[in-house]
Amino acid sequence: MPQQATVLIADDERPITDAYAQWLEEEYAVRTAYSGSEALDKLDAEVDVVLLDRRMPDISGEDVLDEIHDRGLTCRVALVSAVEPDFDILELGFDAYLEKPVSNAEELLETVETLVRRTTYDAQMRRFLSLANKKAAIEAKKAPEELEANDEYVELTEEIAELRTRLSETATELDDDDLRAEFYDPEG
């Protein structure tokens, strides 16, 4: 990965938040929040993955999630909760579930890794689709001879080809669970 992924950990129990941070900070850029409102302050487009405690005194995990959706952020979110939810995680809009307390660094790292993989694919895919749209729009406007003389078009074509290769590498890592999350349709 060219750039370290950013993980936001939100839990009102400081020792837990700090322990998670310690496990993750070697591989990821880590942000910590000790309340729901602090989590909202530290959320921006840079954040790739959020570990979200379900019960926080000021703003609950669910409400933070709603805000994430309202802001149109594309991060993937793991729900951390002491009670195993009796509903489908995906239906609630979460991507993964971690049972609290997470005592095993391995388990945490694995979950974060999965979610980072998905956001990486999402981001590359969005970029690829937007470039493909752009290319198609130029093609619709210009004659084939003109295209080869068009610098923007030539650059675009190269970028698409390069991105396609990277996307293919990312897709190799995706398993069926990742894809199920990828194609999960909240209105379905």
Partner 1 sequence: MNINTSDRRQLEQSSNVLLLAPLTPTGNRACLELLAAVEPPARTNVAAVTYTPPPETWVANWREHVGMLPAELAFIHANTVETRPDGEDSLPERVSVGRVDPNQPMDIIAPLSEQLTRWQDNGNQTVVSVQTLTVLLEYVDFDTAFRYLHILTHRVGAVDAIGVYHMDPDVHDEKTINTLETLFDAVVEVSPDGEEWSVTETYGDRTATSDHTQNHDTDVEIDDTDGGVFDAIRDSLSSLFSGGDAAASNGENSTQRPTTDGPASPSDSPAGNAVDDVPNDAMLTDEDRIRELLTSYGGRMKQTDVTEETDWSKSTVSRKLSKMEDKGLITRVQVGRGNLVFLSGYEPETAKSPFETESS
Pick one of 140, 143, 149, 151: the residue that binds partner 1 (CB under 8 A): 140
Q: Which is nearer to partner 1, 59 or 132 (CB)?
A: 132
Q: Are 163 and 126 in contact (CB under 8 A)?
A: no
Pick one of 41, 129, 146, 152: the residue that binds partner 1 (CB under 8 A): 129
Q: Which is nearer to partner 1, 41 or 182 (CB)?
A: 182
Pick one of 63, 113, 125, 159: the residue that binds partner 1 (CB under 8 A): 125
Quick one: DSSP state of residue 51?
Answer: E
What is the closest distance, in whole angstroms, from the C-beta atom of residue 22 to partner 1 in the complex?
Answer: 36
Rounded Cα distance between 53 and 65, Å, is 11
**Four-point Cα dihedral 27, 54, 186, 77, nearest 10:** -10
Please tell me whether residue 132 adopts helix, strand or coil conformation: helix
Alpha helix positions (H), the chain: 14-24, 36-42, 61-70, 89-92, 105-141, 144-149, 151-173, 176-182
Residues 164-180: b if buried by 16+ CB within 10 A, e if exposed = eeebeebeeebeeebee
Binders of partner 1 in range 144-183 (CB under 8 A): 144, 148, 160-161, 164, 167-168, 171-172, 174, 176, 179-180, 182-183
Query: Which structure tokens are listed for 12?
Result: 């009102």
Rounded Cα distance between 36 and 57, Å, is 8
Q: Which is nearer to partner 1, 104 or 168 (CB)?
A: 168
What is the closest distance, in whole angstroms, from the C-beta atom of residue 181 to partner 1 in the complex?
Answer: 10
Q: Which is nearer to partner 1, 104 or 133 (CB)?
A: 133
Total interface residues for partner 1 by CB under 8 A: 30
Binders of partner 1 in range 56-115 (CB under 8 A): 88
Site residues (vs partner 1, CB under 8 A) = 88, 125, 128-129, 131-133, 135-137, 139-140, 144, 148, 160-161, 164, 167-168, 171-172, 174, 176, 179-180, 182-183, 185, 187-188
